[in-house]
Structure 1
Amino acid sequence: MPRLLQILCFALSLMTAGLPPGAQTHVPSNRVFNVKDFGASGRKEDNAQGAIQKAIDACAQAGGGMVYVPPGSYTSGTIHLRSHVRLYVESGATIFSSKDKNAFDKEALLYGEGLENLTIEGRGAIDGQAEYERRLNDLDDRYIRDNQLLTEAGGKSLMRSFPKKNSHGKFVFLIRCKDVRIAGLSFVRSPSYAIHPVACERMVIDGVYIRSSLADGVWADGIDPDGCKDLRISNSTIETGDDAIVFYSTNAFGPALPCENITITNCRLSSASSALKFCDGNMNCVRHVTVDNCVITDSNRGLAFMVFDGGYVSDVVISNLTIECRRHDWFWWGDGDPFHFNIKRRSEVHPQSARPDEPPAGSIRNVLIRNVIARGKGSSVINGHPDSWLEGITLENVKLFLSSDPAAPYDKSVHALKIQRAKNFKLKDVEVFWEKPEWSKWESALYVEDVRGLQLDGFSGRQARPGASFPAVVLNRVEEALIRGCVAPAGTEIFLKILGSNTREIRLSGNDFHQSKVPYDVAGEVRRDELHELSNFMPK
């Protein structure tokens, strides 16, 4: 090798030493901006905000490149990100949120608006240093009013968690940004949402770890996209006090936009509220969403579909999940329930929010949930609205287990799965299992009310306790139902109860009722000619 070439190679190796492998390969040395070269000391007690900002600004002015945060501890307030900048936080480096409120001119540690080609990555950490205190509740949250009353009635304390005033900001707050990548980092102890993209496009979040206190971390959500499109979340672990992943469509930062074209894969989620939530704050829509190969553990609620602000949810496929739920403290939304659907107008939850221009009830339609094993402590309630019934909901190949928790301050569960106000609802190969400890007020495996167009195919389940007189399945005011290929397990008293004066067109075909004492019971108000039977295996 010529002597000059050897010298050049040696010089290049020195300039790139200590940088991440990707930077050594892809980033020219004159495009790497080390924050220590701009005055950062790497000591937590020193203020690194100015140095980090200078490095980012210099990188942007040079046309782009990488801002490198080497191992060390860096305390900062709001850092304004720039287009074409790759912020790399090295393994062994931690950026701490400042305890000084004056260090934040935006409600976030990392802030960007109207940017493009932005990367936040590395193997280091972002630490919000969130602190909480417990005091008597002074919030009027009507949605958890029942929890509060039951806790009071049980003689339990109404002390609850609130963030201390020295905890500030979200971690990442991006508005109208395009081509964004967030990868590899750990986001811990956030005082608020960890990652909050608003109206962003073409965004990838991959391999991150997000953790806030499951006991105390109120409002410390994981990832909260609002009106974003073309978003991919993958290979991440999210353990948060509040919702782990929640989709919004609000007008908080401009017109409410669709939250759409979203994929979530290979993630593990835990939350003291909802692990995955289609948020009640939906003014436009959340649509075209797929969720696959995810594990939900230790959550107050598994999958939540909620529309309170007139928007709609549509075209959602959720598959290949395991869900494990339990009741967390009384002030969290949720009830240890694996599945939850709810449509309301905002004023029906909070009467004080009523206004003349309040939109009508929103809608939830075309949702497919399949290949799920779910364990919960509370009833899975799937409710439409009197003015807006659910439409085109399918649960397929679902195993649902219900047990009680004697240590919980209350238990509201009655039926394992309850469905109300829906059109064209399908349950295919759904099984319900009752486990110990038991709850004295349990009744039926499935309760269906006010449904038009029900397909119950391959369902299996019995009443909660052997010998109890409750039916396994109740159809109340159901029209046009096909009950096909269902199995009454051993110990079933009454498999099917049919009631409601407007119940009509109920077809029973190819069901295995032979292990039940009573295959079905038809109430007096139901006309017998509305029941049609074909090839059912009956008890002897």
Structure 2
Amino acid sequence: MRKKNTLLLLLLVGFLVSCQSNKSAEKVFNIADYGAKGDSLTDNVEAIQKAIDACNKAGGGQVVVPSGGVYMTSPITLASFVDLHVEANAKLLANPKESVYTKSAFKDNRGEGMMWISGENIEDVSISGQGEINGNGVAFMGKELSDSYELKPVHQFDPRPHLITIIGGKNIRITNINITNSAYWAVHLVGCNDVVVQGITLLNNLKVRNGDGIDIDHSKNVRISDCHIESGDDCICLKNRREYEEWGACENITVTNCIMTSRSCAIKIGSENMDRISHVVFDNCIIRASNRGIGIQNRDEGVVENVVFSNITIDCKFFSDVWWGKSEPIYVTAYPRKAGDHKDAGWRFPKGTTECNVGAVTNIYFSNIKCESENGVFVGGDSKEKIKNISFDQVDLYIFKRTDFVGGIYDKRPCDGEQFVKGTTAGFYFDTASDIVVRNSSVRWGDVRPSYFGEVLEQHNVDNLTTFNLMGKKATSN
């Protein structure tokens, strides 16, 4: 027995030695070893970039931002086979000087922000750790208003940095990291394939306009899970921007177990969509204190199809007109885009044109959605063929007054023609669509009922509307 125990002990010691040997063989590139200083004042761009490049040249490994320091940096470029690891109690901080941001986030369109942490045509890249990546967003803002910041005047060049931009990435992993205070979009994934975003906390300033959380653009096979996101603009947005049309459709996307708060739209599809967005699932999510809950906002020639939203709780209220949306918990629309003189208007339409037809939104399913809001569900399009086969099953609405903003309004921005639908608030409001089913759903009204609170369901110009077991009564004004 003693010999057997001795043999087991020797085997265990050998295993531990082997593990330690493998651990010591890992390639670790600490940015401090390349001269980085965590004093929050030194621009560490050269040290960090040297560490990234050395890691890539060595065949891959981990670039470490060590704990205990705030490492301010100008724009850095990621490389293949690199894990950018920000340790707990460490912070990467964006340089607040606008002049250092010169690389456009949208190619020749320089009117919608620059890049801070970016990579193009890279593979096997991860961003990890319990530390913080801070975009220093308020440093790029104008005057603070009641529920937003003023944007500094911009015509054709906007220096505000997007926090993380990856273009043409393969096997991308963003896990467990804390991402904060982006001045523009926080995580923008363009033309990427095989992406996991898991366990991140993304907290943008809720007053920063254009401060999206995660934007999935022309990307495929993306899994987002277990995230907490707060952002002034959309929390999670799927789109196909015209500047990157060569990357094709946005498809095969799952989002699960996420908690979101937004001043605009927590879950959004569109409005930029010049291709196809399809085969998408959002499941088991919580939306709190948002302007709009779930929004499909098609405004370009691309189509949206085969999308499922299930097991979601939504809590919405009104905010000022600075933010698109009028507290619609669910919003499904297809309207042609409004032409105008916006700073990037020339990039919104097919080359050489100033208008385009809008694509169809079809096969959209809502199941087990529980909503508390100042407004009801809105579905509408510019023709019956553009909004088709929309299903609501176990969608329960509780509509009640909670702010001083006047309701009886739905927001169609940005669309050609009238920007708002004004009149009454219905539980379900359908305008110009076909093949809509509402089953096993309900509408309840709060005790305070303004004169614009109306019907359980209001419809205009809808073909093949079917209801089954829709419970609720017309609101009666106090």
Specify if TM > 0.5. yes
Say if 1:256 and 1:344 are closer, same or farther in 2 by CA, change over 3 A: farther
Cα deviation per residue 1:28-60 (whole Å; 9 max; x = unaligned)?
545111111110122111121111111110000
Partner in structure 2 of residue 161 of structure 1? 150
Aligned match of 1:253 in 216, 221, 244? 244
Q: CA deviation at 1:308?
A: 0.8
Letter in 2 for 1:133: G
The alignment status of 1:374 with 2:377, answered yes or no, reads no
Q: Distance in 2 between matches of 1:48 and 1:236?
A: 29
Partner in structure 2 of residue 344 of structure 1? 335
Q: CA deviation at 1:120?
A: 0.5
Secondary structure of the structure 1 residue equivalent to 2:320: coil
Partner in structure 1 of residue 142 of structure 2? 133
Q: Distance in 1 between matches of 2:208 and 2:25?
A: 41
Letter in 1 for 2:122: L
The alignment status of 1:204 with 2:196, answered yes or no, reads yes
Letter in 1 for 2:454: E
The alignment status of 1:423 with 2:434, answered yes or no, reads yes
The alignment status of 1:118 with 2:125, answered yes or no, reads yes
Letter in 2 for 1:66: Q
The alignment status of 1:362 with 2:369, answered yes or no, reads no
Q: Greater shift after overlay, 220-229 or 256-265?
A: 256-265
Q: Distance in 2 between matches of 1:460 and 1:8?
A: 65
Q: Greater shift after overlay, 417-426 or 309-318?
A: 417-426
| Counterparts of residues 167-178 of structure 1 (less than 5 Å) | 168-178=160-170
| Counterparts of residues 263-412 of structure 1 (less than 5 Å) | 263-347=254-338, 356=353, 358-386=355-383, 388-408=385-405, 412=409
RMSD of equivalent CA atoms: 2.9
Secondary structure of the structure 2 residue equivalent to 1:375: strand
Q: CA deviation at 1:406?
A: 4.4
User: Is the 2:147–2:320 Cα contact (8 Å) retained in structure 1?
Assistant: no
The alignment status of 1:449 with 2:460, answered yes or no, reads yes
Q: CA deviation at 1:251?
A: 2.0
Q: CA deviation at 1:133?
A: 2.8
Say if 1:387 and 1:256 are closer, same or farther in 2 by CA, change over 3 A: farther
Q: Distance in 2 between matches of 1:382 and 1:50?
A: 51
User: Is the 1:403–1:439 Cα contact (8 Å) retained in structure 2?
Assistant: no
User: Is the 2:135–2:182 Cα contact (8 Å) retained in structure 1?
Assistant: yes
Unaligned runs of 5+ in 2: 1-5, 104-113, 410-423
Secondary structure of the structure 1 residue equivalent to 2:310: strand
User: Is the 1:256–1:284 Cα contact (8 Å) retained in structure 2?
Assistant: no
Greater relative contact order structure (CA < 8 Å, 6+ sep)? 2
TM-score (norm 2): 0.84
Partner in structure 2 of residue 76 of structure 1? 73
Structure of higher CA gyration radius: 1
Q: Distance in 2 between matches of 1:130 and 1:48?
A: 19
Q: Distance in 1 between matches of 2:171 and 2:148?
A: 44
Secondary structure of the structure 2 residue equivalent to 1:263: strand
Letter in 1 for 2:315: E
Q: Distance in 2 between matches of 1:182 and 1:253?
A: 22
Letter in 2 for 1:261: N
Q: CA deviation at 1:410?
A: 5.5
Secondary structure of the structure 2 residue equivalent to 1:224: strand
User: Is the 2:245–2:274 Cα contact (8 Å) retained in structure 1?
Assistant: no
Letter in 2 for 1:338: P
Matched residues, number: 434
Letter in 1 for 2:465: L
Q: Distance in 1 between matches of 2:360 and 2:32?
A: 53
Q: Distance in 2 between matches of 1:422 and 1:387?
A: 4
Partner in structure 2 of residue 63 of structure 1? 59
Cα deviation per residue 1:246-269 (whole Å; 9 max; x = unaligned)?
111122134362110000000001
User: Is the 2:385–2:434 Cα contact (8 Å) retained in structure 1?
Assistant: no
